[in-house]
Every structure is written in C-alpha cells, then in structure tokens.
Amino acid sequence: MRLNITTPAQVGEIVRARRKALKLSQAELATRLGISQSRLSVVEQSPETLTLERLIALANVLGLSLVLQDKPGREPKTSDAAW
C-alpha cells in the first residue's frame, strides 16, 4: 500500500483502516502502543496531536513505514529548507 498524505486527517483515516484490516480493536492496538484506548481514539479523530516519535511508533506497530520523497516534477526551492 502506498499513500500520499497531504492532510493530518488522512493519517487518522489510514490508522483506523489499517487497524481494522489487522482486525485489532482500539483497546488491543492501544495496549501494544502503551497508551489508553481513549488516547488512541483521539489520535484517530485528531491525528494532528501526534508527535513524530509517536507517529513512527504507531506505523511500526501497524506494519507500516514512513517515507519522505520528492514530489514528481518538482524541484526543491532554497526557501523550502528555511521554513
């Protein structure tokens, strides 16, 4: 599965879909992550609250990887590095 993510909401949708595909309840996934079920529910609904560290941990538990790559046909601008 390869998905381009352009909004935080998409992260929540992907997490939820992957969890369900693995037939995991929120409680089961939360236990694997060492967080509460209610916290996982918040992550699925409002993923913008995730830290990068937590996002990587979540991806690992779900058997996913995070990859950053250049957009096709787009040359990086010098201003992109400074934002």
3-state secondary structure the chain: CCCCCCCHHHHHHHHHHHHHHCCCCHHHHHHHHCCCHHHHHHHHHCHHHCCHHHHHHHHHHCCCCCCCCCCCCCCCCHHHHHC
Please tell me the predicted confidence (pLDDT) of residue 82: 62
Would you say residue 77 lies in a domain? no
> Looking at the predicted structure, is the pLDDT value of residue 12 above 90?
yes
Report how many domains make up the chain: 1
Provide the CATH number for the domain around residue 46: 1.10.260.40
The pTM score is 0.80
> Looking at the predicted structure, is the pLDDT value of residue 62 above 80?
yes
Would you say residue 83 lies in a domain? no
Gap between the Cα atoms of 32 and 65, Å rounded? 17
Would you say residue 53 lies in a domain? yes
Gap between the Cα atoms of 60 and 33, Å rounded? 10
